[in-house]
Amino acid sequence: MSETDDIRGLPARAAALDLLGTALSRRAGLDEGLNHPAMAALEPRDRAFARALVMATLRHLGPIDTALQSRIKKAPPERIVNVLRLGAAQLLVLKTPAHAAVGATVDLAAAQKGGEVFKGLVNAVLRGFTRDPVDLDEPELMLPTWLAARWRAAYGPEAARAIAAMVAAEPATDVTLQDPADAAEVAAELEATILAEGQLRAGLKGEISTWPGFDAGRWWVQDASAAVPARLLHVQRGETALDMCAAPGGKTLQLAAAGARVVALDRSAGRIKRVSENLSRTGLGAEVAVADAAEWRDTREFDAVLLDAPCSATGTFRRHPDVLWVASPADIPKLAQVQMKLLDSAARRVKSGGRLVYCVCSLEHEEGEGQVAHFLARHKAFALNPIVAGEGGSPEASRRDDGTLRILPHHREGGTDGFYVARLRKA
Protein backbone atom coordinates (compact mmCIF):
# COMPACT_ATOMS: atom_id res chain seq x y z
CA MET A 1 0.00 0.00 0.00
CA SER A 2 1.42 3.35 -1.04
CA GLU A 3 1.56 6.60 0.95
CA THR A 4 -1.32 7.83 -1.21
CA ASP A 5 -3.34 4.78 -0.24
CA ASP A 6 -2.76 5.56 3.44
CA ILE A 7 -4.07 9.10 2.95
CA ARG A 8 -7.05 7.93 0.93
CA GLY A 9 -7.71 5.14 3.41
CA LEU A 10 -8.54 7.30 6.42
CA PRO A 11 -11.89 8.62 5.08
CA ALA A 12 -12.83 5.06 4.11
CA ARG A 13 -11.93 3.76 7.56
CA ALA A 14 -13.84 6.60 9.21
CA ALA A 15 -16.90 5.66 7.13
CA ALA A 16 -16.39 2.01 8.11
CA LEU A 17 -16.31 3.04 11.78
CA ASP A 18 -19.64 4.83 11.46
CA LEU A 19 -21.12 1.93 9.51
CA LEU A 20 -19.99 -0.65 12.07
CA GLY A 21 -21.45 1.41 14.90
CA THR A 22 -24.76 1.72 13.09
CA ALA A 23 -24.83 -1.98 12.21
CA LEU A 24 -24.34 -3.03 15.83
CA SER A 25 -26.75 -0.51 17.32
CA ARG A 26 -30.10 -1.64 15.96
CA ARG A 27 -31.97 -3.93 13.59
CA ALA A 28 -31.50 -3.07 9.91
CA GLY A 29 -28.65 -0.79 10.96
CA LEU A 30 -26.30 -2.29 8.38
CA ASP A 31 -28.71 -1.65 5.49
CA GLU A 32 -29.42 1.82 6.84
CA GLY A 33 -25.73 2.61 7.08
CA LEU A 34 -24.93 1.28 3.62
CA ASN A 35 -27.60 3.56 2.16
CA HIS A 36 -26.51 6.61 4.16
CA PRO A 37 -25.48 9.68 2.09
CA ALA A 38 -22.06 9.64 3.79
CA MET A 39 -21.33 6.27 2.16
CA ALA A 40 -22.64 7.43 -1.20
CA ALA A 41 -20.35 10.47 -1.02
CA LEU A 42 -17.22 8.31 -0.95
CA GLU A 43 -15.36 7.49 -4.14
CA PRO A 44 -16.35 4.03 -5.39
CA ARG A 45 -13.02 2.50 -4.36
CA ASP A 46 -13.27 3.88 -0.81
CA ARG A 47 -16.93 2.88 -0.52
CA ALA A 48 -16.12 -0.68 -1.57
CA PHE A 49 -13.25 -0.85 0.94
CA ALA A 50 -15.42 0.48 3.79
CA ARG A 51 -18.13 -2.06 3.06
CA ALA A 52 -15.68 -4.96 2.72
CA LEU A 53 -13.97 -4.00 5.98
CA VAL A 54 -17.21 -3.86 7.94
CA MET A 55 -18.48 -7.14 6.52
CA ALA A 56 -15.17 -8.83 7.33
CA THR A 57 -15.40 -7.49 10.87
CA LEU A 58 -19.00 -8.63 11.38
CA ARG A 59 -18.37 -12.09 9.93
CA HIS A 60 -15.49 -12.64 12.38
CA LEU A 61 -16.78 -10.57 15.28
CA GLY A 62 -16.93 -13.41 17.79
CA PRO A 63 -13.29 -14.53 17.39
CA ILE A 64 -12.09 -10.91 17.11
CA ASP A 65 -13.84 -9.93 20.34
CA THR A 66 -12.49 -13.00 22.12
CA ALA A 67 -8.97 -12.08 21.00
CA LEU A 68 -9.38 -8.44 22.06
CA GLN A 69 -10.80 -9.34 25.47
CA SER A 70 -7.76 -11.50 26.20
CA ARG A 71 -5.45 -8.57 25.45
CA ILE A 72 -7.25 -5.66 27.13
CA LYS A 73 -7.54 -5.39 30.92
CA LYS A 74 -10.01 -2.49 30.99
CA ALA A 75 -12.39 -1.99 28.09
CA PRO A 76 -12.10 1.42 26.37
CA PRO A 77 -15.16 3.35 25.12
CA GLU A 78 -17.31 1.47 22.59
CA ARG A 79 -16.15 3.61 19.69
CA ILE A 80 -12.51 2.74 20.42
CA VAL A 81 -13.50 -0.92 20.72
CA ASN A 82 -14.93 -0.61 17.20
CA VAL A 83 -11.69 1.00 16.02
CA LEU A 84 -9.82 -2.02 17.40
CA ARG A 85 -12.27 -4.42 15.77
CA LEU A 86 -11.71 -2.79 12.38
CA GLY A 87 -7.94 -2.85 12.86
CA ALA A 88 -8.01 -6.52 13.80
CA ALA A 89 -10.13 -7.36 10.75
CA GLN A 90 -7.69 -5.57 8.47
CA LEU A 91 -4.75 -7.52 9.86
CA LEU A 92 -6.35 -10.92 10.37
CA VAL A 93 -9.04 -11.15 7.67
CA LEU A 94 -8.22 -8.75 4.85
CA LYS A 95 -4.47 -9.29 5.34
CA THR A 96 -3.73 -5.58 4.96
CA PRO A 97 0.04 -4.92 5.32
CA ALA A 98 0.79 -4.40 9.00
CA HIS A 99 2.37 -0.95 8.67
CA ALA A 100 -0.68 0.37 6.82
CA ALA A 101 -3.31 -1.33 9.00
CA VAL A 102 -1.70 -0.37 12.31
CA GLY A 103 -0.76 3.17 11.30
CA ALA A 104 -4.16 4.01 9.81
CA THR A 105 -6.03 2.47 12.74
CA VAL A 106 -3.96 4.46 15.27
CA ASP A 107 -4.74 7.61 13.25
CA LEU A 108 -8.42 6.67 13.24
CA ALA A 109 -8.39 6.30 17.02
CA ALA A 110 -6.69 9.67 17.41
CA ALA A 111 -9.36 11.30 15.23
CA GLN A 112 -12.12 10.32 17.68
CA LYS A 113 -13.20 12.59 20.52
CA GLY A 114 -10.88 11.78 23.43
CA GLY A 115 -9.13 9.22 21.26
CA GLU A 116 -5.58 10.57 21.63
CA VAL A 117 -5.17 8.79 24.96
CA PHE A 118 -5.93 5.41 23.35
CA LYS A 119 -3.31 5.61 20.57
CA GLY A 120 -0.82 3.60 22.61
CA LEU A 121 -3.38 0.91 23.45
CA VAL A 122 -4.48 0.55 19.83
CA ASN A 123 -0.88 0.38 18.63
CA ALA A 124 0.12 -2.18 21.26
CA VAL A 125 -2.87 -4.47 20.70
CA LEU A 126 -2.54 -4.49 16.92
CA ARG A 127 1.23 -4.93 17.02
CA GLY A 128 0.54 -7.91 19.26
CA PHE A 129 -1.63 -9.43 16.54
CA THR A 130 1.22 -9.10 14.03
CA ARG A 131 3.51 -11.07 16.37
CA ASP A 132 0.91 -13.56 17.57
CA PRO A 133 -1.80 -14.06 14.92
CA VAL A 134 -5.22 -15.32 15.99
CA ASP A 135 -7.11 -18.31 14.58
CA LEU A 136 -10.45 -16.92 13.36
CA ASP A 137 -11.84 -20.21 12.06
CA GLU A 138 -13.15 -21.77 15.29
CA PRO A 139 -16.93 -22.26 14.75
CA GLU A 140 -17.60 -22.29 18.50
CA LEU A 141 -16.65 -18.60 18.63
CA MET A 142 -18.69 -17.46 15.63
CA LEU A 143 -22.01 -17.08 17.46
CA PRO A 144 -23.32 -15.30 20.53
CA THR A 145 -23.55 -17.79 23.39
CA TRP A 146 -27.35 -17.70 23.60
CA LEU A 147 -27.83 -18.44 19.90
CA ALA A 148 -25.26 -21.22 19.89
CA ALA A 149 -27.07 -22.85 22.82
CA ARG A 150 -30.46 -22.57 21.08
CA TRP A 151 -29.17 -24.12 17.87
CA ARG A 152 -27.42 -26.97 19.67
CA ALA A 153 -30.67 -27.75 21.48
CA ALA A 154 -32.78 -27.50 18.31
CA TYR A 155 -30.55 -29.20 15.76
CA GLY A 156 -27.87 -31.07 17.70
CA PRO A 157 -24.19 -30.21 18.25
CA GLU A 158 -23.00 -31.38 14.82
CA ALA A 159 -25.55 -29.35 12.85
CA ALA A 160 -25.06 -26.31 15.11
CA ARG A 161 -21.33 -26.42 14.43
CA ALA A 162 -21.95 -26.76 10.69
CA ILE A 163 -24.25 -23.72 10.78
CA ALA A 164 -21.68 -21.70 12.72
CA ALA A 165 -18.99 -22.62 10.21
CA MET A 166 -21.01 -20.78 7.53
CA VAL A 167 -20.82 -17.42 9.32
CA ALA A 168 -17.39 -16.40 8.04
CA ALA A 169 -17.98 -17.34 4.40
CA GLU A 170 -18.83 -14.60 1.91
CA PRO A 171 -21.92 -15.81 0.02
CA ALA A 172 -22.26 -15.89 -3.73
CA THR A 173 -25.13 -14.00 -5.40
CA ASP A 174 -28.19 -16.11 -6.26
CA VAL A 175 -30.59 -14.95 -8.97
CA THR A 176 -34.03 -16.10 -10.07
CA LEU A 177 -34.84 -16.14 -13.78
CA GLN A 178 -38.05 -14.68 -15.12
CA ASP A 179 -38.09 -17.49 -17.71
CA PRO A 180 -36.44 -20.75 -16.57
CA ALA A 181 -35.91 -21.62 -20.23
CA ASP A 182 -33.17 -18.97 -20.27
CA ALA A 183 -31.11 -20.86 -17.70
CA ALA A 184 -28.25 -22.03 -19.92
CA GLU A 185 -27.86 -18.71 -21.75
CA VAL A 186 -27.96 -16.53 -18.62
CA ALA A 187 -25.73 -18.94 -16.70
CA ALA A 188 -23.05 -18.45 -19.35
CA GLU A 189 -23.41 -14.65 -19.14
CA LEU A 190 -23.22 -14.58 -15.34
CA GLU A 191 -20.58 -17.33 -15.04
CA ALA A 192 -23.20 -19.10 -12.95
CA THR A 193 -24.07 -22.55 -11.70
CA ILE A 194 -27.63 -23.74 -12.35
CA LEU A 195 -29.21 -24.72 -9.02
CA ALA A 196 -32.84 -25.64 -9.73
CA GLU A 197 -36.04 -24.45 -11.45
CA GLY A 198 -34.64 -21.26 -12.94
CA GLN A 199 -32.30 -20.51 -10.02
CA LEU A 200 -28.67 -19.61 -10.65
CA ARG A 201 -25.67 -18.97 -8.42
CA ALA A 202 -23.63 -16.28 -10.14
CA GLY A 203 -19.85 -16.29 -10.34
CA LEU A 204 -19.57 -12.61 -11.22
CA LYS A 205 -18.56 -10.00 -8.66
CA GLY A 206 -19.02 -6.25 -8.51
CA GLU A 207 -21.95 -3.93 -9.14
CA ILE A 208 -24.95 -6.14 -9.89
CA SER A 209 -26.80 -3.50 -11.91
CA THR A 210 -24.05 -3.72 -14.55
CA TRP A 211 -24.42 -7.49 -15.09
CA PRO A 212 -25.84 -8.80 -18.39
CA GLY A 213 -29.63 -9.07 -18.34
CA PHE A 214 -30.23 -6.83 -15.32
CA ASP A 215 -31.61 -3.83 -17.21
CA ALA A 216 -33.66 -6.14 -19.41
CA GLY A 217 -35.27 -7.64 -16.31
CA ARG A 218 -34.39 -11.21 -17.20
CA TRP A 219 -33.57 -12.01 -13.57
CA TRP A 220 -33.56 -10.61 -10.06
CA VAL A 221 -31.40 -11.20 -7.00
CA GLN A 222 -32.97 -13.72 -4.62
CA ASP A 223 -31.37 -16.24 -2.30
CA ALA A 224 -31.99 -19.83 -3.35
CA SER A 225 -33.91 -20.54 -0.13
CA ALA A 226 -36.04 -17.41 -0.47
CA ALA A 227 -37.11 -18.56 -3.94
CA VAL A 228 -38.55 -21.87 -2.69
CA PRO A 229 -41.80 -20.73 -0.96
CA ALA A 230 -43.42 -19.07 -3.99
CA ARG A 231 -42.73 -22.13 -6.15
CA LEU A 232 -44.49 -24.35 -3.62
CA LEU A 233 -47.79 -22.56 -4.33
CA HIS A 234 -47.67 -23.88 -7.92
CA VAL A 235 -49.82 -20.98 -9.16
CA GLN A 236 -51.45 -21.43 -12.54
CA ARG A 237 -51.96 -18.74 -15.15
CA GLY A 238 -55.00 -16.66 -14.26
CA GLU A 239 -55.14 -17.70 -10.60
CA THR A 240 -55.25 -15.00 -7.94
CA ALA A 241 -52.36 -14.69 -5.50
CA LEU A 242 -51.64 -12.48 -2.50
CA ASP A 243 -48.10 -11.71 -1.32
CA MET A 244 -48.80 -10.39 2.17
CA CYS A 245 -45.39 -8.95 3.17
CA ALA A 246 -44.07 -8.40 -0.30
CA ALA A 247 -41.02 -6.13 -0.16
CA PRO A 248 -38.48 -6.18 -1.73
CA GLY A 249 -40.57 -8.13 -4.22
CA GLY A 250 -38.76 -11.29 -5.30
CA LYS A 251 -41.69 -13.55 -4.46
CA THR A 252 -44.17 -11.15 -6.10
CA LEU A 253 -42.09 -11.33 -9.28
CA GLN A 254 -42.09 -15.13 -9.14
CA LEU A 255 -45.88 -15.29 -8.81
CA ALA A 256 -46.39 -12.72 -11.58
CA ALA A 257 -43.94 -14.50 -13.89
CA ALA A 258 -45.95 -17.70 -13.40
CA GLY A 259 -49.02 -15.90 -14.76
CA ALA A 260 -50.92 -15.23 -11.53
CA ARG A 261 -52.93 -12.06 -10.91
CA VAL A 262 -50.97 -10.81 -7.94
CA VAL A 263 -51.67 -8.36 -5.14
CA ALA A 264 -48.47 -7.27 -3.38
CA LEU A 265 -48.98 -5.87 0.10
CA ASP A 266 -46.53 -4.19 2.45
CA ARG A 267 -46.92 -1.79 5.37
CA SER A 268 -43.95 0.37 4.33
CA ALA A 269 -44.45 2.85 1.50
CA GLY A 270 -40.69 3.04 1.02
CA ARG A 271 -40.35 -0.73 0.75
CA ILE A 272 -43.36 -1.13 -1.56
CA LYS A 273 -41.68 1.39 -3.86
CA ARG A 274 -38.90 -1.15 -4.32
CA VAL A 275 -41.51 -3.73 -5.35
CA SER A 276 -42.89 -1.31 -7.95
CA GLU A 277 -39.39 -0.57 -9.25
CA ASN A 278 -38.65 -4.29 -9.64
CA LEU A 279 -41.96 -4.85 -11.42
CA SER A 280 -41.15 -2.00 -13.78
CA ARG A 281 -37.65 -3.30 -14.54
CA THR A 282 -38.89 -6.82 -15.27
CA GLY A 283 -41.99 -5.74 -17.17
CA LEU A 284 -44.20 -7.83 -14.89
CA GLY A 285 -47.52 -6.68 -13.50
CA ALA A 286 -49.06 -6.74 -10.03
CA GLU A 287 -51.40 -4.63 -7.95
CA VAL A 288 -49.43 -3.02 -5.12
CA ALA A 289 -50.92 -1.71 -1.89
CA VAL A 290 -49.59 -0.11 1.27
CA ALA A 291 -51.25 -1.58 4.36
CA ASP A 292 -50.60 -3.56 7.51
CA ALA A 293 -51.34 -7.09 6.33
CA ALA A 294 -52.76 -8.00 9.73
CA GLU A 295 -55.38 -5.24 9.49
CA TRP A 296 -55.94 -5.00 5.71
CA ARG A 297 -59.63 -4.31 5.16
CA ASP A 298 -59.87 -5.76 1.66
CA THR A 299 -62.33 -8.68 1.71
CA ARG A 300 -61.10 -10.51 -1.40
CA GLU A 301 -60.16 -14.18 -1.18
CA PHE A 302 -57.31 -15.70 -3.20
CA ASP A 303 -56.39 -19.04 -4.71
CA ALA A 304 -52.88 -18.74 -3.27
CA VAL A 305 -51.60 -16.72 -0.32
CA LEU A 306 -47.95 -16.30 0.57
CA LEU A 307 -46.92 -15.02 3.99
CA ASP A 308 -43.19 -14.42 4.40
CA ALA A 309 -43.59 -13.00 7.88
CA PRO A 310 -41.41 -10.50 9.74
CA CYS A 311 -39.09 -12.48 11.99
CA SER A 312 -35.82 -12.50 13.88
CA ALA A 313 -34.07 -13.20 10.53
CA THR A 314 -31.43 -15.35 12.22
CA GLY A 315 -31.27 -17.48 9.06
CA THR A 316 -29.94 -14.58 6.97
CA PHE A 317 -26.61 -14.17 8.76
CA ARG A 318 -24.58 -15.03 5.65
CA ARG A 319 -25.60 -11.76 3.99
CA HIS A 320 -26.52 -9.89 7.19
CA PRO A 321 -23.98 -10.98 9.82
CA ASP A 322 -25.05 -8.07 12.03
CA VAL A 323 -28.29 -9.93 12.81
CA LEU A 324 -26.35 -12.34 15.04
CA TRP A 325 -25.22 -9.50 17.29
CA VAL A 326 -28.29 -7.25 17.40
CA ALA A 327 -30.90 -10.00 17.89
CA SER A 328 -31.88 -10.86 21.45
CA PRO A 329 -33.90 -13.65 23.08
CA ALA A 330 -36.60 -11.11 23.95
CA ASP A 331 -37.23 -10.44 20.25
CA ILE A 332 -38.53 -13.92 19.53
CA PRO A 333 -41.77 -14.00 21.56
CA LYS A 334 -42.61 -10.46 20.44
CA LEU A 335 -42.19 -11.41 16.79
CA ALA A 336 -44.14 -14.63 17.33
CA GLN A 337 -47.13 -12.50 18.35
CA VAL A 338 -46.86 -10.49 15.13
CA GLN A 339 -46.63 -13.68 13.09
CA MET A 340 -49.71 -15.12 14.82
CA LYS A 341 -51.80 -12.06 13.89
CA LEU A 342 -50.56 -12.18 10.31
CA LEU A 343 -51.37 -15.87 10.01
CA ASP A 344 -54.89 -15.28 11.31
CA SER A 345 -55.29 -12.55 8.71
CA ALA A 346 -53.90 -14.84 6.01
CA ALA A 347 -56.44 -17.53 6.89
CA ARG A 348 -59.27 -15.11 6.07
CA ARG A 349 -57.82 -14.42 2.62
CA VAL A 350 -57.68 -18.02 1.35
CA LYS A 351 -60.50 -19.37 -0.81
CA SER A 352 -62.04 -22.73 0.01
CA GLY A 353 -59.66 -25.29 -1.49
CA GLY A 354 -56.93 -22.64 -1.73
CA ARG A 355 -53.30 -22.82 -0.61
CA LEU A 356 -51.36 -20.92 2.01
CA VAL A 357 -47.57 -20.95 2.29
CA TYR A 358 -46.10 -19.60 5.51
CA CYS A 359 -42.37 -18.99 5.80
CA VAL A 360 -39.79 -17.18 7.91
CA CYS A 361 -36.07 -16.66 7.39
CA SER A 362 -35.55 -17.61 11.04
CA LEU A 363 -33.89 -20.62 12.62
CA GLU A 364 -35.99 -20.31 15.78
CA HIS A 365 -38.61 -22.98 16.56
CA GLU A 366 -41.14 -20.51 18.01
CA GLU A 367 -41.31 -18.67 14.69
CA GLY A 368 -41.56 -21.80 12.55
CA GLU A 369 -42.69 -25.22 13.75
CA GLY A 370 -44.33 -23.87 16.89
CA GLN A 371 -46.13 -21.11 15.01
CA VAL A 372 -47.71 -23.51 12.52
CA ALA A 373 -48.73 -25.96 15.24
CA HIS A 374 -50.60 -23.17 17.04
CA PHE A 375 -52.16 -22.02 13.75
CA LEU A 376 -53.54 -25.48 12.99
CA ALA A 377 -55.01 -25.67 16.49
CA ARG A 378 -56.83 -22.36 15.91
CA HIS A 379 -57.95 -22.95 12.31
CA LYS A 380 -59.53 -26.37 11.86
CA ALA A 381 -60.34 -25.70 8.20
CA PHE A 382 -56.61 -25.88 7.37
CA ALA A 383 -54.32 -28.88 7.16
CA LEU A 384 -50.71 -29.33 6.17
CA ASN A 385 -50.19 -30.01 2.47
CA PRO A 386 -46.93 -31.97 2.65
CA ILE A 387 -43.96 -30.83 0.58
CA VAL A 388 -42.09 -33.53 -1.32
CA ALA A 389 -38.33 -33.84 -0.83
CA GLY A 390 -36.60 -31.53 -3.30
CA GLU A 391 -39.84 -29.81 -4.32
CA GLY A 392 -39.52 -26.20 -5.40
CA GLY A 393 -35.75 -26.49 -5.56
CA SER A 394 -35.48 -27.13 -1.82
CA PRO A 395 -32.55 -29.18 -0.48
CA GLU A 396 -33.69 -32.75 0.08
CA ALA A 397 -32.10 -32.75 3.54
CA SER A 398 -34.45 -29.94 4.57
CA ARG A 399 -37.71 -31.90 4.47
CA ARG A 400 -39.15 -32.74 7.89
CA ASP A 401 -41.24 -35.82 8.59
CA ASP A 402 -44.46 -33.76 8.65
CA GLY A 403 -43.85 -32.43 5.14
CA THR A 404 -42.66 -28.97 6.15
CA LEU A 405 -39.19 -27.61 5.39
CA ARG A 406 -36.49 -26.61 7.82
CA ILE A 407 -33.75 -25.32 5.52
CA LEU A 408 -30.46 -24.97 7.38
CA PRO A 409 -27.62 -22.85 5.98
CA HIS A 410 -25.34 -25.85 5.39
CA HIS A 411 -27.99 -27.86 3.50
CA ARG A 412 -26.80 -26.45 0.17
CA GLU A 413 -23.19 -26.60 -0.98
CA GLY A 414 -21.78 -23.09 -0.70
CA GLY A 415 -24.44 -22.15 1.82
CA THR A 416 -28.01 -20.88 1.72
CA ASP A 417 -30.27 -18.79 3.92
CA GLY A 418 -31.99 -20.57 6.78
CA PHE A 419 -35.78 -20.86 6.33
CA TYR A 420 -38.83 -22.59 7.72
CA VAL A 421 -41.59 -23.26 5.17
CA ALA A 422 -45.02 -24.86 5.60
CA ARG A 423 -47.70 -25.34 2.93
CA LEU A 424 -51.32 -25.57 4.05
CA ARG A 425 -54.59 -26.16 2.24
CA LYS A 426 -58.02 -24.88 3.19
CA ALA A 427 -60.76 -27.51 3.12
Catalytic center residues: 361
Amino acid at 42: L
Listed residue (243, 224, 264, 257) closest to 416, CA to CA: 224
CB contact burial 117-139 (16+ within 10 A = b; e otherwise):
ebeebbbebbeebeeeebebeeb
Dihedral sign of CA atoms 327, 332, 333, 334 in order:
positive
Q: Please, which residues bridge with residue 201 across strands?
A: 174, 193
User: Who's near 346: CB < 8 A, 6+ residues apart?
Assistant: 244, 293, 305, 307, 356, 358
Name the residue among 348, 343, 404, 419 with its Cα closest to residue 377. Answer: 343
Angle at alpha carbon of residue 54, lines to 333 and 120, rounded to 5°:
115
Looking from the CA of 250 toward its CB, the CA atoms found within 13 Å total 19
Instruction: Tell me how far apart the terminal alpha carbons of the chain are, to the nearest angstrom.
Output: 67
Cis peptide leading into 321, omega within 30 of 0?
no
Q: What are phi and psi of 177, to 5 degrees?
A: -85, 140
Q: What whole-number distance in Å separates Cα of residue 240 and Cα of residue 365?
A: 31
* CA angle in degrees (0–180, nearest 5) for 310-316-321: 120
Residue 28's CB is within 10 A of a number of other CB atoms, namely 14
Count of alpha carbons within 13 Å of 374, Cβ hemisphere only?
Answer: 15
Per DSSP, 256 falls in state: H
* Torsion of the alpha carbons at 318, 245, 343 and 146, rounded to the nearest 10: 20
Strand 405-407 and strand 350-360: the pairing is unpaired
